[in-house]
Structure 1
C-alpha cells in the first residue's frame, strides 16, 4: 500500500461526494486507500458502490476533527498518510507529485498549493461577499499565507502546516504525537501539532506547482462564514489555556467595551449588509462592515459569548 488518504467529514453531503469521486479517480494507478471518518452523530456517509473497492467509511465515536484524523491514521495501511479536507478536489497529478516528493525528502510534511476552482471564483465576482473573499485572499493558500515567504517557482520551506492537504509519513506523525484531541473545533489543532513536529526536527514544505481545488461552494454565505470564525476564536482560547500565551488576544479596555456593545447589535449590522446594493463602487462599505462583524465573531468566540 503506497498511500492512505484520510478524509474527516461532518454533514457535507454533496460536497463530500464530489471530493470522493475526484480522490477515487486520482488513485487508480496506485496501491492506495481512502478512509472517510464520519464525525457526524446524526447523518451517515454513503459511498457509491462503484467506489467501494478503494473507499471505506468509519464512524468517529469521539467528536472533533483532530480525533477523526487520529482515528483514520490508526486504521491506515500505508506508511504515507495524506490528510485531506472533505472539500478538496484532487487529481492523479497531485498524487503522483506527492509520492515523488516523499521519495526525495524524508522527515518532513508537505502541503500542496490550493485555490478555489475557477468556476467558483467566477461566481464569487458576482456577489458582495464573494468579492470580499477574493479581496482579502481567502480563496487561495497563498492568500492564507499573506505576510509569509512564498516562492511560486519551486518547493520551499514553510513556517507552519495546514491539514487541508497534508502528506506525512506515519512514523513522523506518531513520533510527534498525532493531533491533540482537546480542541473543540478545527483551526489551532494544526498550529499546536506543528509546534511538536518542529521540536521533533520535522521540516515543513509547500509545493506551489501542483494545484488542488478547494471547493467551498457550500460555505459562501457571510453568516455561516462568521460562525466558523467565531469557532476559531473559541479554539484559540483553548490554545491559550494550553500554554500558547503568545496567541492571547489583548483587548484594551475601550476595545473590549466597544466590541461588547457591537456584539449586542450584531443583527443590525447583518441587516445593513443586506441593504447595501450589489455594486462594486460600494464594496468598500460592505467590506468595512464585514470586517467589523469578523472582529465581533472572533471576540465572541474567544470570550465564549
Structure 2
C-alpha cells in the first residue's frame, strides 16, 4: 500500500464528508483513509458511518486534542507513506499521485501539499490578507523545491511511515507541528513542495480568531524552547530576552488595542500592514504571558 491518509476531525461533519469523499475519489494510488474522530458531538459519527468504502477506517476517541488524534492515526498506519491531512483541506484530482511521484524522486523527503484558500471563502480585507500570507511561501516555486526548516505544514504533508514520529502535546495552540518538523529536519528529512498536490484549504478566518491563535503561539513558544533549548529555537520563536525586548518596542499592545477599537482603517490601503502589526502584537503579548510558565 502506498499511503495511509490520517485525518483528525472534531465537530466538522460537513467538511469531513467533503474531504474524505475527495480522497476516496483519488486514482492511480493504493491507499487507506484513517479518520480519527476526536470526541465529536455533532453529526460526524453519523456521516462518517454512512460512507461505505473498504479503504476507510474510522477511529473514535474522547476529545484529547489534535496531537493525540494524529498520533492515534499514525499508530494504525500500515502503508509505505503516511499523509497527515486536516479535515478542512480538500484534495484535488491527482493529489496523492503527486505526493507519490515526489517521494520517488526524493526518497528522504517530506512532501508538502500546494494548499490555497478558495476565492469563494470571501473577499473581505482580512481574508484577502490571509490568502496572500498563507500562499506567499510557495508562490513561484518549482515542483520539488526545498522549503527550509520552517516548511513543515502538517495541515497536509506526507513522509515515509517508518521515519514518522509522534507529535508532542502542547498546552495550547501553536508550535507542535514545528517541533516535530524540527525533529524530522535533524533526522535529514527535508520538506519539499509537491506542486501538483493541490488542495483547497476551506478554513474561514477572521482577525479575532487569528489574533487569539497568535497569542497562544506566543505562550507556547516557551514550551517549544524548553523542549529544544538552542539558539536556533530561541531566535525562531523570539523566546529570549533580547528578542522579547525588541518586540515589546515594535509591537506595543496598547497600540493594538487602539487599532481594534476603531477599524475604519480596514478599508484603506494600509490594512495589510496593520493586520501584520496586530498579529505580531498578539504574539508578543503571548510571549510576555508565557515567559514565566
Q: 2:178 pairs with 183, 191, 195, which one? A: 191
Instruction: Out of 163-172 and 288-297, give the one that drifted further.
Output: 288-297
Q: What are the residue-to-residue correspondences of 1:1-305 with 2, within 5 Å? A: 1-26=1-26, 30-40=29-39, 42-43=41-42, 45-46=44-45, 47=48, 49-61=50-62, 63-120=64-121, 123-124=122-123, 127-134=124-131, 137-140=132-135, 143-144=136-137, 152-160=141-149, 161-173=152-164, 177-181=165-169, 183-216=170-203, 219-242=204-227, 243=229, 244-246=233-235, 247-249=237-239, 250-252=243-245, 255=248, 259-262=252-255, 266=257, 269-273=259-263, 276=264, 279=267, 282-284=268-270, 286-304=271-289
> Residues 87 and 98 of structure 1: is their aligned pair in 2 closer, same or farther, counting only changes over 3 Å?
same
Q: CA deviation at 1:58?
A: 1.9
Displacement after TM superposition at 1:303 (Å): 3.1
- CA–CA distance in structure 2, aligned partners of residues 116 and 109 of structure 1: 22
Rounded to whole Å, the distance in 1 between the matches of 2:247 and 2:80 is: 53
Measured after TM superposition, the shift of residue 88 of structure 1 is 0.8
Contact 1:112 1:212 in 2 (8 A): yes
Distance 1:236 1:171 in 2: 29
Unaligned runs of 5+ in 1: none
Indicate the larger mover: 248-257 or 56-65.
248-257
Preserved contact between residue 163 and residue 190 of structure 1 (Cα < 8 Å): yes
What's the CA shift for 1:13?
3.6
How many residues in Structure 1 have an aligned counterpart in Structure 2?
278
Closer, same or farther: CA 55–260 of 1 in aligned 2, 3 Å: same
Quote the Cα distance in structure 2 between the aligned partners of 1:81 and 1:223.
33
1:253–1:295 CA distance, 2 compared to 1 (3 A): closer
Deviates more, 1:60-69 or 1:93-102: 60-69
| Per-residue deviation, residues 7-52 of structure 1 (Å, max 9, x unmatched) | 122333422322222122225x543221112334655632151345
Q: Distance in 2 between matches of 1:139 and 1:233?
A: 19
SS of the residue 1:304 aligns to: helix
Q: Are the equivalent residues in 1 in contact too, given 2:171–2:220 (CA < 8 A)? A: yes
Report how far residue 93 of structure 1 moved. 0.3
Once superposed, what is the RMSD of the aligned Cα atoms? Answer: 2.9
CA 1:271/1:63 → structure 2, altered by over 3 Å: closer, same or farther?
same
CA distance 1:248–1:291, change in 2 (3 Å): closer
Contact 2:251 2:280 in 1 (8 A): no
List runs of 5+ in structure 2 lacking aligned partners.
Answer: none
Whole-angstrom distance in 1 between the partners of 2:211 and 2:15: 20
